[in-house]
Amino acid sequence: MKTDDLIKVLGADTATAAMPLQRSWRMALVIAVVLAGVAFFAMLGPRADIADAMHHSRFLFKFVLTVGLAASAWAAARALSRPEGGAGLWWIAVVPALLVGAIVLEMSAMPADRWRGLMMGSNSRLCLTFIPLIGIGPLAAFIVALRHGAPARPGLSGAVAGLLAGGVAATFYAAHCVDDSPLFVAVWYGLAIAGLSAAGAVAAKVWVRW
Amino acid sequence: MTGVQGQDEAVMAALLKASLAGDEQAYTDFLRRAAALVRAFVRHRTRAGGVDAEDVVQETLLALHLKRHTWNQDRPVAPWLYAIARYKLIDAFRRRGRRIEVDIGDFADNLAAPEDEAQLSERDLSRVLDSLAPGQRSVVSSISVDGRSIGETAAALGMNETAVRVALHRGLKAIAKRFGQG
């Protein structure tokens, strides 16, 4: 097959312009937030004492973490969806670093015999169930956006898309969850989000080929 | 012609921008230059084993085409272009059960292949066409083999131009998918 014949054919196919990558990501984000919101309000809803909880820094700090994770993964996923992308990946380390700082503060503020109780919380199973359930729809939306792009590292891109879906899902779930200690968040939110990230890596390896 | 530096980068970026705005002439020009650059990039990296360089050039051109919306117009073309070539090169080796490391750090030093280099892949065009659905096959073959334009193809096949464009685009996606299977 002559390369020039191929070029002739490609040259004739300029009318069908694909959606710009930035717009497809923005669409995916809107769809993800809607899907997560619908799933959250249909299945859980916010905790009963949310008005009171708003005055507590531990509760509010959960949102710093979840929104921070979503924001950093958002930047990284969009960069990774371009063939040469990869810049901006280190932003993902910011939230874990914040969480480590919060754990140190928590452990110095709380007596050692309470650490275990704070970490186990009262709702770990709920957390492990609902963060993935709320996040699966968003993950699907982000995988579609990755397919529209051209990531040179599909597995890594999918893992980051999973973190993004996890960040979105955990932001909603945190409004329901009554366990506010960073010890609880690190273990159970961490596990649930890691699960979504692993699912994203596998899904992208299967579906994001170009 | 040297590798993508300075002037060439500016030319490539201008051509690709014009292409994205619908300029077919600029696009063909862009693809010819891209093919020469990719050929040079791929050629000495495929010398060692079982991969036809021109196959990879054609796979890369198809990917450049189908993924041209992933180029960020504020960024240089070369890193984007070589990242796609690298991905397709690694993919070609992977399909043949081999792993390779491809360094694109030195892409600026690549020299475009001379024009008399064979620009023919081992793939047989008729076999590629045979893998397409009949409607797509007649459109792609009319443009590639008979050298017709979209309008001429539409007239020859008794279709409207939109249908020709749709069949062409779907046909190219199908070819890309088939290329990816080996």
Amino acid letter for position B163: A
Interface of A to B at Cβ within 8 Å reads: 1-21, 81-84, 149-150, 152, 209-210
* pLDDT tens-digit readout, B91-127: 988 887 766 666 665 554 555 555 555 577 777 777 8
More confident residue, A102 or B130: A102
At residue B6 the predicted structure's pLDDT band, cuts being 50, 70 and 90, is low
Average pLDDT of the residues in A150-172? 97
For residue A152, the SS3 value is: coil
Cα of A79 to nearest chain B Cα, Å? 10
pLDDT score at A7: 92
B178 vs B55: CA distance, rounded Å: 12
Are A187 and B44 in contact by the 8 Å Cβ rule? The answer is no
State residue B1's pLDDT score. Answer: 42
Other Cβ atoms less than 10 A from the Cβ of A206: the count is: 11
CA separation for the pair B116, B111 (Å, rounded): 14
Per the model's pLDDT, the better-predicted residue between B120 and A165 turns out to be A165
| pLDDT value of residue A205 | 96
A15, pLDDT greater than 50: yes
DSSP secondary structure code for residue B78 in this structure:
H
Cβ pair B10, B37 in contact under 8 A? no
CB B147 within 8 A of CB A8: yes
Q: State the average pLDDT for chain A.
A: 94
Which tokens in the block code for residue A135? 């996040």
- Of B120 and B41, the one with more pLDDT: B41
CA dihedral of A169, A32, B71, A72, whole degrees rounded to 10:
-20
* Test the A interface: residue of B64, B67, B77 with most A CBs within 10 Å: B67
DSSP class of residue B74 equals T
Q: d(Cα B132, Cα A34) in Å, to the nearest integer?
A: 39
Token representation of residue A111: 């007596």
DSSP state of B4: S
Q: What is the mean pLDDT of chain B?
A: 85
* Mean pLDDT computed over A37-53: 94
Contact call for residues B55 and B176 (beta carbons, < 8 A): no
CB pairs under 8 A between A and B: 117
Residue B72 has phi, psi (to 5 degrees) of -85, 115
A86 SS3 class:
coil
Candidates B22, B70, B145; nearest CB to A149? B70
d(CA A28, CA A126): 26
% of chain B residues with pLDDT over 70: 84
- Among the partner residues B24, B79, B147, nearest to A14 by beta-carbon distance: B24
**Cα(B117)–Cα(B4) distance, integer angstroms:** 19
Phi, psi of A205, deg, nearest 5 = -65, -35
Closest-CA distance, B71 to chain A, in angstroms, reads 7
What φ, ψ does residue B33 adopt, rounded to 5°?
Answer: -65, -40
Closest CA to A178 of A49, A38, A63: A49
pLDDT at res. B125: 78
**pLDDT at position B2, please?**
45
pLDDT computed for residue A160 by the predictor:
97
- Among B23, B71, B121, the residue with its CB nearest the CB of A1 is B121
Record: contact B70-A81, CB cut-off 8 A = yes
Instruction: Provide the pLDDT for residue B109.
Output: 53
- Per-residue pLDDT at B107: 54
- The reported pLDDT for the residue numbered B127 is 81
Q: Given this model, what pLDDT does residue B22 score?
A: 87
Spatial contact of A99 and A151, defined as CB atoms under 8 Å apart? no
CA B166, B172, B176 angle in degrees (round to 5)? Answer: 145
pTM, two decimal places? 0.90
Yes or no, beta carbons of A150 and B27 under 8 Å apart: no
Query: Comparing A63-72, B67-76, B98-107, which segment has the lowest mean pLDDT?
Result: B98-107
Per-residue model confidence as pLDDT tens digits over A98-125: 999 999 999 999 999 999 999 999 889 9
Is the model's pLDDT at B18 over the cut of 90?
A: yes
| Residue contact B172–A17, C-beta within 8 A | no
Inter-axis angle of helices A190-207 and A124-148, nearest 10: 30
The percent of residues in chain A predicted with pLDDT above 70, rounded, is 100
